[in-house]
């Protein structure tokens, strides 16, 4: 406890870090306030059917990603997922289209152009999704819930929904620039955390009921959840270190031997992004049918709207594995790593510099990414098994899946950002070792 108090005092002493944390808190409060602002023309007292629709399954997960804005018919109802979907498309184009490949090589100016294109594509997706969301509102809510009706309500609501998501994007960018970083991920994380207390209380009361298994069963669930959290932390932080030897140097008549360091290659170098991307793809069938309830669907749409179904979870797991390889290929560049080692006079013992080193690094990354991707896929589908085992739908989301991975990954990244500021100014870090193994420390050991 004394260590924690001292760390908080040290954080408060650093003006830049203090301002960044306060800025992040203020921007997140603005976001949470916006999730409670109902679309103009809708009676907030008649949203019961919409909240019942989002009580579980894919719709419940979609509501969690929006921080509850979906079930509140909020101005932020579409959340940040359209932006993530646009980012997926742009990154895929970056692997196939020469124009986007050229932009990726142009450094900061290319990144700004890519971000601008992503925003335009996000707007296109929003104007496609907003009418589907409004159609779902008309399907779920009674006519008396609509104070304003007709074309004016439809057009104005589409504009408001699109503007709301763009504003959330702006908040995320400001948190990245002026706050503690990882803006979009933190916004998603806060939405998930906001649902945790309600899910916890609901599961507690469902278990203490006569047919719920009692407190013993509830404690067993908490223990299992703690083990899953520990497993997830190990997955996010898992590292394989490859030794790197600096070449010997001769200064005057003295010869200095090489210095051995390590390249820390992550078992899960892609972090939480594969599961976010895969989840965005899994939302497509629901969006395509206008957010309709899975009970009213059939065939393909029904199979991919059933959160505990085989085909939903099988497809989800395959997408997680594919996106893990895809995002790792973007994050870790063996060619660049080999060139950096060569420029610094370093080499991997027993491996020739140049092409041999590139092939060796690529081979190692492929081998350690395979089990990492399978473990990530397993964690992704654990909530479905929890639901089948009788865990409350809302609480089951925290037994793995997107929710838990985002919570663990983003918390570790944020702590790493704070610790970097502390260590930079010669304060003790957040842990006794003075180091938190974040997900982004990775690609260079020099």
Which residue from 421, 300, 381, 431 is spatially nearest to 20, judged by alpha carbons? 421
Tokens of residue 389, six digits: 């085992």
Tokens of residue 383, six digits: 């909530």
- Asked if 410 contacts 190 with a C-beta cutoff of 8 angstroms, the reply is no
Q: What confidence score (pLDDT) does residue 13 get? A: 80
Where is 137: in which H helix or E strand?
A: helix 108-140
Q: What are the residue boundaries of the structural domains of the chain, listed by start?
A: 2-424
Q: What confidence score (pLDDT) does residue 108 get? A: 82
The secondary structure of 330-380 as a DSSP string is HH--HHHHHHHHHHTTEE-TTS-TTHHHHHHHHHHHHHHHHHHHHHHHHHH
Q: What confidence score (pLDDT) does residue 256 get? A: 46
Which residue from 196, 241, 188, 228 is spatially nearest to 414, judged by alpha carbons? 188
Specify the CATH architecture of the domain 2-424: Orthogonal Bundle (1.10)
The secondary structure of 156-178 as a DSSP string is HHHHHHHHHHHHHHHHHHHHHHH
Does residue 383 have a pLDDT over 80? yes
pLDDT tens readout for residues 410-440: 888 888 778 777 777 766 555 554 445 444 4
Using pLDDT thresholds of 50, 70 and 90, give the confidence band for residue 444. Answer: very low
The better pLDDT of the pair 218, 167 is held by 167
Report d(CA 167, CA 157) in Å as an integer: 15
297: left (phi over 0), alpha (psi -120 to 50) or beta: beta
Q: What confidence score (pLDDT) does residue 1 get? A: 61
Q: What confidence score (pLDDT) does residue 343 get? A: 80
Tokens of residue 360, six digits: 């060796």
Q: What confidence score (pLDDT) does residue 168 get? A: 94
């Amino acid at each position: 406890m004394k260590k924690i108090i001292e760390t908080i005092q040290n954080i408060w002493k650093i003006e830049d870090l203090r301002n960044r944390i306060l800025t992040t808190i203020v921007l997140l409060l603005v976001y949470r306030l916006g999730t409670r602002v109902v679309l103009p023309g809708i009676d907030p007292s008649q949203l019961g059917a919409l909240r019942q629709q989002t009580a579980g399954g894919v719709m419940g997960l979609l509501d969690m990603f929006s921080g509850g804005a979906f079930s509140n018919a909020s101005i932020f109802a579409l959340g940040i997922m359209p932006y993530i979907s646009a980012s997926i498309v742009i990154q895929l184009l970056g692997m196939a289209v020469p124009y986007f490949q050229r932009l990726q090589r142009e450094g900061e100016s290319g990144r700004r152009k890519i971000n601008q294109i992503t925003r335009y594509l996000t707007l296109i997706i929003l104007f496609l999704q907003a009418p589907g969301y409004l159609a779902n509102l008309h399907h779920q809510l009674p006519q008396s819930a609509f104070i304003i009706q007709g074309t004016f309500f439809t057009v104005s609501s589409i504009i408001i929904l699109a503007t709301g998501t763009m504003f959330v994007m702006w908040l995320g960018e400001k948190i990245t620039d002026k706050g503690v970083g990882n803006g979009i991920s933190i916004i998603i994380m806060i939405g998930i955390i906001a649902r945790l207390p309600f899910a916890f209380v609901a599961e507690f009361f469902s278990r203490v009921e006569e047919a719920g298994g009692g407190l013993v069963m509830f404690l067993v669930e908490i223990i299992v959840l703690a083990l899953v959290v520990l497993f997830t932390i190990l997955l996010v932080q898992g590292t394989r270190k490859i030794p790197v030897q600096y070449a010997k140097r001769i200064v005057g008549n003295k010869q200095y031997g090489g210095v051995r360091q390590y390249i820390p290659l992550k078992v899960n170098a892609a972090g939480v992004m594969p599961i976010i991307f895969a989840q965005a793809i899994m939302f497509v069938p629901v969006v395509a049918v206008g957010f309709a309830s899975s009970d009213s669907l059939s065939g393909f749409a029904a199979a991919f709207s059933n959160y505990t179904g085989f085909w939903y979870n099988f497809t989800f797991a395959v997408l997680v594995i594919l996106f893990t390889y895809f995002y790792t290929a973007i994050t870790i560049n063996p060619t660049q790593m080999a060139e950096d080692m060569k420029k610094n006079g370093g080499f991997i013992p027993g491996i020739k510099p140049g092409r041999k080193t590139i092939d060796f690094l690529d081979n190692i990354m492929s081998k350690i990414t395979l089990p990492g991707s399978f473990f990530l896929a397993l964690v992704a589908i654990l909530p479905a098994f929890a639901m089948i085992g009788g865990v409350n739908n809302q609480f089951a989301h925290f037994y793995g899946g997107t929710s838990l991975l985002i919570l663990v990954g983003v918390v570790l990244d944020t702590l790493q950002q704070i610790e970097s500021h502390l260590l930079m100014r010669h304060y003790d870090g957040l842990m006794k070792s003075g180091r938190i193994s974040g997900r982004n420390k990775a690609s260079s050991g020099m």
